[in-house]
Every structure is written in structure tokens, then in C-alpha cells.
Amino acid sequence: MDQLVALSEFTLEIAARVRRDLGIPGPTPDEVAVYRDKVRMKEILALKGVRVPRFGSCETPEAAVEFARSAGYPVILKPVDGAASIGVHRVEDEGRLTELLPTLDLSRYEIEEFVTGRIFHIDGYADDHAEVPFQVVSRYVNDCLAFGLGAPLGSVVVQNSELRDRIEAFSRECVAALGIRTTPFHLEVFVTPDDELVFLEIGGRVGGSEVPHLLNKLFGVNLFEVWLRAVGGESTARITTKSGDPSGGWLCVPKPADLPARVTKAVSLRASVPSIWRELLPPVGEVLQPGGSYDALHSGRFILLGDDESRVEADIHRIIDTFEFEATRI
């Protein structure tokens, strides 16, 4: 039996259309839309009673301005089918909003209220019944939008707690409400200062950056393997079992803003941060090119392992504070 699997966020819709046109089994364009269209996913969840940010389509500049006046500033503008924070804008006031709107293809954009809080990501697998046999909750260090502006991005795996239990239950609720089946997922959730859980967005794919490598190391679960075995008709019950309560984390230090640039200094931190399990640094002389996202060769990429999430997070901040890297613009 033929199968077609799309590994990139940006090819999920293309693969769905090809499957439909060629009669290949798998998610249809309508099914893929619930985890590709950021308006559609929030519409469905809001109808199911899940807390989502206030949002609206950017049908006209006037509609976007009216929404912002109602929601209050700042607001977030983002492509409905985007990923990796590409094309996302945090807008602080009406002057900036009216300046920005004419530069965007508004048919592809939505506008959202700005939600204050910590951001968590949940990486797991949704089975044939839209149930979640495996998931791991992690807390971002910094955020994806800041990464696009040049700040380091990392996360730390959350250990057993009442909050983690609530986030896992919220994750299962979102997956079931959206009817997401037979796919890995990457869900992002706000936890507000009042401890409220608010949906941010979800993707029907394996999380990016170091997520799959860390989860495979900590729990022995390769989400790509689980996915491929499932679409091949094999049961995933055995290979999605999570045992123990370890922590770990990852950090990606982005490339310099002024590119292309030749690396002149990149100092290893293995000796001073023993929790580092894997460190990927560009060698001196390497030329860093523009482009690429979380999976590109950046100034530094680190995976950390540990038995205590607070210690792992402290080590991530230690890397951010002490990492020595230099590059010269070509």
C-alpha cells in the first residue's frame, strides 16, 4: 500500500492534496487544515469550550484596526499557515499597525490578542482514535519570536507536578477536540500569571530543533519511527511507553545577524557545564549563511541531561551567559 508522509510544516497541505488526487490513504486537506490553519484550529477549539486567545481574520485593514482597539495593545499579527515564527509581528500601537498592514498579504494573516504568560510546548503522538499514548511537557526558555530577532531559544523538560498533569489533560482535550489522528504533534500553550491554560497553536508534526533527539535520549521514543510504523499499519502501543521522570533540555544560539560571516571563535562549554550531552559548534573558518530555521547550523546547539529540571534550566542560562562566539562579516 502506497503512503505519503510530509515531514515539514510547509509541505503538509501539499502532501494532503497529492494523497487526495492519487487516492493514497492518510490525512485529507480538510483534516490537515485543523493543524495548519491557525484561525480554523482556534474556531474549532473555541466552539468546544477550550480557552484560546481572542482572534480575528485580517479581512481588511479597517477590521484589523478595529480588533486591536477592542483587544488592546500589543497585538500579534501572524500568517494563518506559518511556522517557526516566520512573518510574525508583535505590534505595540495603532501607528505601527496602520504602517505595517499595507505591507502584508492580509488574506494570509490573522490578528490575536497578546497573552501574557510562560509558554510550554507539548510533544507527543496522537493515535488512530485521537488519543495521546505519549507526550512530554517542556517549558520554553525565551520564546520563538525572540529567537527570530536574535535571542537564544531553549526549553527544559517538566517533571512530575500538578501543573504538568493539568497541561497533559489540556493537551489531550485539544487533540480530541481537533480530531488529530495518527500523527505526532507539537502543541504550544500559555500558562498565565493567574495559572490559566490558554491554547497557542498546534502542528501535526514532530517538534523542531533538538526536540526529537532529546525525547529519544530521555525516553527511548523516536517520534519519527512511531509515525512511520503507524502509517505502515503497525501498532504503536509498545513503542510509545514512557517510563521514569527525567529532565533535560536544549538550547539553540542563533547565527549572527550580519551574514554571511566566517566563524573566528566558538568555545566549547563541555568542561564547565557537565550536563551537556551533545554540543554542536561550527568550526573556526566555517562560513555561516543566511536562511534556515531551527534546524540550521547556528552559533551553537546544545542538548542537556539531568535529574532536576531547575538545575537543567540553570545550566541553560549559564550557557547563554558564558558562551563565547565570534564571527566576522564577509
Q: Give domain limits for the chain.
A: 9-113, 118-329
Secondary structure (H, E, C), 193-257: CCCCEEEEEEECCCCCCCHHHHHHHHHCCCHHHHHHHHHCCCCCCHHHCCCCCCEEEEEEECCCC
DSSP codes of every residue in 111-167: EEE---SEEEEEEEEE-TTS--SEEEEEEEES-HHHHHTT--EEEEE--S-HHHHHH
For residues 271 and 312, give the distance between their C-alpha atoms in angstroms, rounded to a whole number.
16
DSSP codes of every residue in 37-59: -HHHHHHHHHHTT-----EEE-S
Local confidence band at 80 (pLDDT 50, 70, 90 cut-offs): confident
8 A C-beta contact, residue 135 and residue 124:
yes
How crowded is the C-beta side of 315, counted as CA atoms within 13 Å? 26
Q: Whole-angstrom distance between the N-terminal and C-terminal Cα of the chain? A: 51
For residues 119 and 223, give the distance between their C-alpha atoms in angstroms, rounded to a whole number.
22
User: CB neighbours (10 Å) of residue 144?
Assistant: 22
User: What's the whole-model pTM score?
Assistant: 0.91
Average of per-residue pLDDT across 10-24? 84
Say how far residue 208 (Cα) sits from the centre of its chain. 6
Q: What is the DSSP code (8-state) at residue 10?
A: G
For residues 172 and 241, give the distance between their C-alpha atoms in angstroms, rounded to a whole number.
16
Q: What is the DSSP code (8-state) at residue 8?
A: S
Local confidence band at 300 (pLDDT 50, 70, 90 cut-offs): very high
Q: Which CATH architecture has domain 118-329?
A: 2-Layer Sandwich (3.30)
Task: List residues bridging with 77 in a β-sheet.
Answer: 89, 111
pLDDT at 170 over 70: yes
How crowded is the C-beta side of 218, counted as CA atoms within 13 Å? 31
145 or 97: which leads in pLDDT? 97
Strand pairing of 247-253 and 261-266? unpaired
For residues 217 and 324, give the distance between their C-alpha atoms in angstroms, rounded to a whole number.
27
Smallest CA-to-CA distance from 135 within 41, 207, 192, 225 is with 207
pLDDT at 83 over 70: no
Smallest CA-to-CA distance from 178 within 10, 55, 58, 30 is with 30
**Same fold: 9-113 with 118-329:** no
- Give the right CATH number for 9-113 from 3.30.590.10, 3.40.470.10, 3.30.1490.20, 3.40.50.300: 3.30.1490.20
Predicted pLDDT of residue 136: 97
As given in the structure block, the three cell numbers for residue 63 are 477590521
Local confidence band at 230 (pLDDT 50, 70, 90 cut-offs): confident
Alpha-carbon separation of residue 195 from 139, 192, 304, 313 (angstroms): 14, 5, 28, 20
Predicted pLDDT of residue 150: 85
Q: What is the mean pLDDT of the chain?
A: 91
Each residue of 289-298: pLDDT tens digit? 988 777 788 9
